Amino acid sequence: MRKKKRVLSFSAALLSLTLLLSSTPVFAAVSTYGSWPSRYQTMYVDTSSTLTVPYSSGAAKWYNATNYKVSTSLTGTVGSYNYRAFNVTETDVDWDGITEHFVYNGEIWKEIVNINTYYTSMSRYTSAIKTALVAHEVGHSLGLLDSSVVETTSIMHPYTFNSAETATVRPMNPSASDISVVNGLYPTSSSFMKKSASGQEDGYYIHPSWAVYYANENELAEAADLVVRGTVTSEAGSKFTRGDYKSYATLSAVQATQVLKGGLKDGEQIMVSQMGGTDGSVKVFVDETTHLQKDQEVVLFLRKRADNTYSPINGDDGVYLDTKIGVKNIATKRLIDLNSMI
Ligand SMILES: [Zn+2]
């Protein structure tokens, strides 16, 4: 209990820092990674899915608004199509939706859209929210990346709910800017069609979309099973279920020097798993996931997985480097005052 109070006590300082930083957002159009060679596509949806209506309605948000014409078609053999959508149920991950694209020779060959029913079966996921989540994933499958967190008008906003899980933080529809980016990718004059994901190495690219946004480290700590300060003692290879590319993970051993929350003793070692890795032949790359390196000093906000590894919450959101100038988030470089946690 005492530890938990300490974790909570640093919220005020963090919140003010967050507000300061978020008061000066820089808006930019959503980024893209490539496009299909044709603007007419069919996304095949698993007939047995409980979400066939959200899949078709979510795709229609792009079909009706942009040059990208993605129809949906129900099938009992979804696995035989390169552009496919089906439900998965994963209980120990932070994503409520995920899209994979496969690149070969600089071209997109496959797009696989998954909605995680572990989350969407919760009552707070209304049919409108499920449809908007599908629209977000279809946005990935047509070539868009997640927006930055400050882009609160883009449907490519990476999070669905606020930390209290009371309100959505992602818009329900593509913005005017989203539409114009898509129309740029899929011009009606087909001679201008880009046919590429050029510059991308062959492999699977995974775009996880997070169920909950944690606005600061206090909220991350609340959600975490374990908050630990420690040293990366080794890079421990990949772990995967062959062919299930979203399961591919890279392992690192981390020795705790200080346990800030959770059932671990100082000095104990844990295995941290981060999305993305390789089975020796196929490479899997994951947005917003920077793998730990040996000898890094880190502060990690972790979720315990069923396989007894720990994963940073929401990818890089849960990873901080302990550097000479302070403890800072690996992606945003945002500094936190760890002393007020201790
Ligand atoms: Zn996303």
Give how far Cα 319 sits from Cα of 241, 260, 302, Å. Answer: 24, 14, 9
pLDDT at 3: 40
Find the 209 Cα to ligand 1 centroid distance in Å: 4
Section 265-291 average pLDDT = 95
CB neighbours of 317 closer than 8 A, spacing ≥ 6? 210, 214, 220, 288, 301, 329, 331
Find the 263 Cα to ligand 1 centroid distance in Å: 32
- Percent of the chain clearing pLDDT 70 (strictly above): 89
Find the 195 Cα to ligand 1 centroid distance in Å: 22
**Predicted confidence (pLDDT) at residue 7 exceeds the cutoff of 60:** no
Tell me how far apart the alpha carbons of residues 9 and 338 are, in angstroms, rounded to a whole number.
Answer: 11
Find the 132 Cα to ligand 1 centroid distance in Å: 11
The pair of structure tokens assigned to 312 is 């940073």
Widest Cα–Cα separation across the chain: 65
**Predicted confidence (pLDDT) at residue 244 exceeds the cutoff of 80:** yes
Which domains occur in the chain, in start order?
Answer: 2-24+216-341 (2.40.50), 40-212 (3.40.390.10)
The pair of structure tokens assigned to 293 is 């390196």
**Beta-strand pair 277-278/269-275:** unpaired
**Predicted confidence (pLDDT) at residue 214 exceeds the cutoff of 60:** yes
Q: Give pTM, 2 decimals.
A: 0.90
pLDDT at 107: 86
Is 122 in a helix, a strand, or coil? coil
**Predicted confidence (pLDDT) at residue 26 exceeds the cutoff of 90:** no
HSE-CB for 172 with a 13 A CA cutoff: 10
CB neighbours of 93 closer than 8 A, spacing ≥ 6? 116, 118, 208, 311
